[in-house]
Amino acid sequence: MSTIDIENVNVTAFDTMPTPEEIHSRLPLSLAAARTVMHGRDSLRGILERKDPRLFVVVGPCSIHDPVAGLDYARRLRALADQVGDTLQLIMRVYFEKPRTTVGWKGYINDPFMDDSFRVDVGMERAREFLLDVAEIGLPTGTEALDPISPQYYGDLISWTAIGARTAESQTHREMSSGLSTPVGFKNGTGGDLAVAVNAILSASKPHSFLGINGQGRVAIVRTRGNRHGHIVLRGGDGRPNYDTVSIAMVEQALTRAGLPNNIAVDCSHANSYKNPDLQPLVMADIVNQVRLGNKSLIGVMIESNIEAGNQPIPANLAQLRYGCSVTDACVDWETTETMIRDAAVLLRDVLPERMA
């Protein structure tokens, strides 16, 4: 019996990927981009360590599929960030990888041409190019870490990382998070389970050793020191919200029992808005009100937002795609986003200094 009958029975091909070093060399980190990334990370660490009274806002498209529209959005957000920066640290949501319950478009890295050609080599390079463009205009970015190899390709351009509800319980993602250079937000489980996220924060704070790749694309044993800037992100669960004052109090108790800082971010989308983007402003307003009433545990929010409201299916003819409209989860439009952020900044400006007391 030959080995071909035993190994890779269901594998049809191994297509070679450029190494992280090769893609970095083609798209090197500029000084301006590096300053943006470090400023974003430092600001987030300051918020998590209570040295900075502001809230962070991770806001942007559910997923990036059109880099032209994405950069258009980024420029708008950059201008808004300048106007609210004394109160809110804005981070652009730049998601390239989409976890799927069954099937569907897996994101810009996996399928950049949106035609099931799965040119991951092209998608990875284009994703890095987009992140570089956004960083060079001075806007920090946040993304979801789904594939454990991807951070080697573009992790130097990310200021905040999310671990999703489907992967927060994964040992692979907890180990990876322990070595990431960014603060990491762990979402509660899809059923609302808080323990998944709390245990993930604890696990990622410890050193780990695991298999990965290095810059040369060689398989390596990755050894980490642990990431002490993990925090929980509430996204609702089992079809119900979990951002109300009672839910927040229960999260605070769970974090305290685990010996963790009371750092809580709220995702205004997903189950917290019953997947109805029109409800995201109400969630945001509720969080702002809780902070105004004295809550000191709430340190950030997430908003799914795009240039145009709603979402659209991916057509056979990609020329029919509507500009600036999501092809994954439905989003609020730019005008609504701007109103949400400006209103929050006005309402929080006078009360945030009290959080340092």
Question: Cα–Cα distance between 19 and 23 in angstroms, integer?
Answer: 7
pLDDT at 222: 97
pLDDT at residue number 211: 96
The CA angle 97-100-105, to the nearest 5 degrees, is 60
What distance in Å separates the CA atoms of residue 230 and residue 168, rounded to the nearest whole number? 12
Which one, of 259, 198, 190, lies nearest residue 231 by Cα?
198
Q: What distance in Å separates the CA atoms of residue 208 and residue 318, rounded to the nearest whole number? A: 44
Per-residue pLDDT of the chain (357 residues; tens, 9 = 90+): 455 588 889 999 999 999 999 999 999 999 999 999 999 999 999 999 999 999 999 999 999 999 999 999 999 999 999 999 999 999 999 999 977 666 689 999 999 999 999 999 999 999 999 999 999 999 999 999 999 999 999 999 999 999 999 999 999 999 999 999 999 999 999 999 999 999 999 999 999 999 999 999 999 999 999 999 999 999 999 989 999 999 999 999 999 999 999 999 999 999 999 999 999 999 999 999 999 999 999 999 999 999 999 999 999 999 999 999 999 999 999 999 999 999 999 999 999 988 876
* Continuous segment of H or E residues that includes residue 134: helix 120-136
Listed residue (96, 232, 239) closest to 163, CA to CA: 232
Residue type for 135, please? A
Cβ neighbour number for residue 182 with a 10 Å cutoff: 25
Predicted pLDDT of residue 101: 60
Instruction: Return the sign of the alpha-carbon dihedral for residues 110, 115, 116, 122.
Output: negative
Rounded CA gap, 55 and 265, in Å?
A: 9
Domains of the chain: 3-351 (3.20.20.70)
- Residue where the block lists tokens 């905040």: 160
Euclidean distance between the first and final Cα of the chain, in Å?
73
Helix (H, G, I), strand (E, B) or coil at 118: coil
**Strand locations in the chain, DSSP E?**
55-60, 88-93, 141-144, 160-163, 184-187, 209-213, 219-223, 230-234, 264-267, 298-304
Sort 19 into a burial class: Cβ within 10 Å, 0-12 / 13-18 / 19+: middle
CA 314 and chain centroid, separation: 23
**Whole-number pLDDT of residue 5:** 80
- Spatial distance between the Cα atoms of 350 and 335, rounded to a whole number of angstroms: 24
